[in-house]
Structure 1
Amino acid sequence: MFVARLNGMSVFDPLGDEVGRVRDVVVTLTGRAAHHGPRVIGLVVEVPGRRRVFVPITRVTSIDAGQVITTGLVNMRRFQQRPGETLVVGELFDRRVTVHEDGEPVPAVVEDIAMDLQRGGDWRLTKLFVRKGVDTGPARGLRLRRRRGETVLLDLEEVEGLHDAGPAQAATALLEAYEDLKPQDLAEAIHDLSPKRRAEVADALDDETLADVMEELPDDDRLEILTHLPSERAADILEVMQPDDATDLLADLPVDTQEQLLQLMEPDEAADLRRLLTYDEDTAGGLMTTEPVILGPEASIAEALALVRREEVHPAVASLVYVTRPPHETPTGRLLGSVHIQRLLREPPHQPVGSILDPEIDPVSPDASLGEVTRALATYNLVALPVTDGEGRLLGAVTVDDVLDHILPDDWREDRGELTEVSDV
């Protein structure tokens, strides 16, 4: 069974109910019987709620016909890698190794690994699918050139270097294995990796995907990634991120590093972040995004719907359209009112948005506390609120997801779903 094929395979209990999907294979590369091949000790399975749990290989009764069958009891504690454990997809895919051709060492990279069921009931890694002739240049260059070499299936003993983490790896095969994942799920997978491997994956991702992933990572992980990146790319990532998330990240950096990154950003983007950095993080100003959907009163409902349906607009931000006097970029002219997306869907497309303003949605000031913002959202049953200054100019919008980020414990991303440790599935 090749691990790349196993990855993403559905896991079922004996009654035929789906438990989750395989996301990685856990092996131990050392031990008394390591000369027989690294022993598979379990599977990382993604269960509902994007939680990743560990299923011991002893609980797997069958791997066949595109599915994995387990016994009925699964520990629902979030998977945490232990010393001596290695993730096949996360750490061994793309590993640089050496094979021998006509007695000469040839560099190669691992693209897939086969695991076999032994007579004693153990699963062990037995063969490597590698691509030969790949140089040992930088990881990003390696990622672009690696498919030129010849591929070959070899026994483990024919390959050197699998046990060595060595220099930087590419992340192409790993990302191909995770290509069906949304940014939230990819963030969960990246969080489980070692700091070295996280940095390598960050190097391989494009700017937009990395920005989306960093918005979903715990603070420590995204700060670690940002400080690893070259300054120019770190500034590019901050520009792509939601302004409030980028500001939270910048606030954790030393002042001189903040200024260095802001200087590298586009002036308009940097100006927004500089403004947000002046507010306390637990106020409406510190929570808000500076990129809400803004229109003038004469704009049609059709124009408003065209703006909120854009893919890059966050769902919570798209829930309200803010109608202001010119200019229509924050800080804007005076806020005239707001329109909920449901109201837009009920009215004729040609009607101006200025004619359907909701008079009950009152803005909050940038100095409003987290408690005030939370009560306002609850009072109006909204997922977003406008933030205005003393002269009534729109400064931004606070969304419920940002409020939740500040209400929940700091480690909520790491502990999500751990209310039940053991579940009889």
Structure 2
Amino acid sequence: MASGAPRIFVSHLSGVTVFDPGGDHVGRVRDLVAMLRVSHRPPRLLGLVVELPSRRRIFLPMTRVTGIQAGQVITTGVLNVRRFEQRPTERLVFGELLDRRVRLVDSDEEVTVLDLSVRLLPTRRDWEIDKVFVRKLPEPRAAGTFRRGKGETLTVDWTAVTGFSLEEHGQGAENLLATFEQLRPADLANVLHHLSAKRRAEVAAALDDDRLADVLEELPEDDQIEILGKLQEERAADVLEAMDPDDAADLLSELPEEDKERLLSLMEPDDAADMRRLMSYEERTAGGLMTTEPIVLRPDATVADALARVRNPDLSPALAAQVYVCRPPDETPTGKYLGTVHFQRLLRDPPYTLVSAMLDDDLQTLSPDAPLPAVAGFFATYDMVAAPVVDDSGSLLGAVTVDDVLDHLLPEDWREHEFHELADGTGVTEGAREHDQ
């Protein structure tokens, strides 16, 4: 990048694609690494945390960055592929500096950090953080109250604020989450996994229940338990209700009995009953793997009714792939299970056609006690993405989806390896880590 290049606000770097000199995709920017300095000198920007296609995070020194322009970062092409480990003298810009409460030097007024800008020094290849975009707190209206609306925003020099070097208690997460708003739950889970425990709890607290539920389902078990344990009990129960029932049951089963019962008592009775039913089955069986919330329709439902249910954006693709036709009651455990209608068949028939006229009633069903190998064999044999679980009386209990089968076929710590281990074929070469300090 040429000297005199315009200032870059770090929020614009979140998720930006990193390319090598040949134009090949290397990864995406997930954070920036800075080093605070003494005497209020602006921090030096050491490098970028880049997430490779394998989801491993590596350190890219700024000395290896040849350009930042038009929403992309260009590198020299020689990268260190060892997993990024934060050093004690380093600060993560997104993870630790955004949302901090700092003070203006002139007025001692407390402000919140919304963004930071970086620039390339004109006389060398060093980068530094030079500006801070902050919001003032709303002015007091009366004792214990504040005026409506948000406070004034302004951009000041780094030297005009103080407080970045202090330990932050109760740091917010609004602006950090804004930088990762478009991430899929699995990718946001990866972000949380790499934050400190303190920051992870703050970000989890700032997520809404549905988003946090989706993210929890993608986290390793230890992270799930840690986050759930730091939520207020009423909210923890709400988040568990928002999770897929099978995932929530798996998480509950890992908690001490006293904590489990307390959370179940705070849940809606129907949701708690589903949890207890799922936990009554052995973990590596169809009953332990299934969700209790597949799409269930009565025989007199039409194709139009079925497609309306399939369009629900909260359904996973696997659950939306087929509907299950049963006699009343049409919530699990249902009345007599009659058969399955696949999504492709729904697209081939007129909207007024009854689903009972197009049943696949030859498809075998799974017993709730079917062991994991038998369940996996069923999916492989019939090329299915979801399968009905039916008890001895012929009632539909739930459905097993292929993603849950894979979760249990993989090693127990597969999520940890997914976050940390480098997959073959990334196209980058091994080099020595350079902080160039």
- TM-score, L = length of structure 2: 0.89
Return closer, same or farther for 1:355/1:250 CA change in 2, 3 Å cut-off: same
Give the 3-state SS of the residue equivalent to 1:260 in structure 2.
helix
Question: Contact 2:365/2:387 (CA < 8 Å) preserved in 1?
Answer: yes
Return closer, same or farther for 1:145/1:44 CA change in 2, 3 Å cut-off: farther
Between 86-95 and 183-192, the greater mean CA deviation after superposition:
183-192
2:393 pairs with 1:386: no
Cα distance between partner residues in 2 of 1:135 and 1:91: 26
1:12 corresponding residue in structure 2: 19
1:133 corresponding residue in structure 2: 137
1:233 corresponding residue in structure 2: 235
1:108 corresponding residue in structure 2: 111
Cα distance between partner residues in 1 of 2:301 and 2:380: 29
Q: Deviations over 1:258-277 (max 9, x none)?
A: 11111111111111001111
AA at the equivalent of 1:92: L
Cα distance between partner residues in 1 of 2:147 and 2:371: 52
1:8-407 equivalences under 5 Å are: 8-29=15-36, 36-48=41-53, 50-101=55-106, 104-118=107-121, 119-133=123-137, 148-407=150-409
- Give the C-alpha shift of residue 76 in structure 1: 4.3
AA at the equivalent of 2:98: F
Return closer, same or farther for 1:223/1:293 CA change in 2, 3 Å cut-off: same
- Give the C-alpha shift of residue 29 in structure 1: 2.6
Between 301-310 and 414-423, the greater mean CA deviation after superposition:
414-423
Cα distance between partner residues in 2 of 1:286 and 1:345: 32
Q: Deviations over 1:48-90 (max 9, x none)?
A: 3555433222211122343321011334455443443321011
AA at the equivalent of 1:38: P
Give the 3-state SS of the residue equivalent to 2:427 in structure 1.
strand
Give the 3-state SS of the residue equivalent to 2:227 in structure 1.
helix
Give the 3-state SS of the residue equivalent to 1:11 in structure 2.
strand
Between 78-87 and 364-373, the greater mean CA deviation after superposition:
78-87
Moved over 6 A (4+): 144-147
AA at the equivalent of 2:65: V
- Give the C-alpha shift of residue 423 in structure 1: 2.6
Aligned residues: 415
AA at the equivalent of 1:171: A
Give the 3-state SS of the residue equivalent to 1:154 in structure 2.
strand
Question: Contact 1:76/1:422 (CA < 8 Å) preserved in 2?
Answer: no
Return closer, same or farther for 1:199/1:379 CA change in 2, 3 Å cut-off: same
Between 302-311 and 41-50, the greater mean CA deviation after superposition:
41-50
Cα distance between partner residues in 2 of 1:135 and 1:362: 67
Q: Which has the higher contact order (CA 8 A, sep 6+)?
A: 2
Q: Deviations over 1:137-196 (max 9, x none)?
A: xxxx9xx99972222322323222101232111111111111222222222212211111
Question: Contact 1:208/1:237 (CA < 8 Å) preserved in 2?
Answer: yes
Q: Please, which of 3, 25, 39 is the counterpart of residue 10 of structure 2?
A: 3
1:418 corresponding residue in structure 2: 422
Question: Contact 2:81/2:428 (CA < 8 Å) preserved in 1?
Answer: no
AA at the equivalent of 1:320: Q
Return closer, same or farther for 1:298/1:409 CA change in 2, 3 Å cut-off: same
AA at the equivalent of 1:105: D
Q: Deviations over 1:354-413 (max 9, x none)?
A: 222223321111111111100011111101111111111111111110111111122322
- Give the C-alpha shift of residue 282 in structure 1: 0.9
2:433 corresponding residue in structure 1: none
Return closer, same or farther for 1:387/1:344 CA change in 2, 3 Å cut-off: same
Cα distance between partner residues in 1 of 2:139 and 2:198: 20
AA at the equivalent of 2:115: D
Return closer, same or farther for 1:238/1:232 CA change in 2, 3 Å cut-off: same
Superposed CA RMSD: 2.4
- Give the C-alpha shift of residue 246 in structure 1: 0.5
Return closer, same or farther for 1:16/1:423 CA change in 2, 3 Å cut-off: closer
AA at the equivalent of 1:100: V
Cα distance between partner residues in 2 of 1:84 and 1:335: 62
Question: Contact 1:107/1:135 (CA < 8 Å) preserved in 2?
Answer: no
Cα distance between partner residues in 2 of 1:397 and 1:369: 15
Cα distance between partner residues in 2 of 1:97 and 1:146: 22
Identity value in percent: 56
Cα distance between partner residues in 2 of 1:150 and 1:311: 38
AA at the equivalent of 2:305: E
Question: Contact 1:73/1:423 (CA < 8 Å) preserved in 2?
Answer: no
Question: Contact 2:54/2:422 (CA < 8 Å) preserved in 1?
Answer: no
Question: Contact 1:131/1:146 (CA < 8 Å) preserved in 2?
Answer: no
Give the 3-state SS of the residue equivalent to 1:197 in structure 2.
helix
- TM-score, L = length of structure 1: 0.91
Q: Which runs of 5+ in 1 are unaligned?
A: none
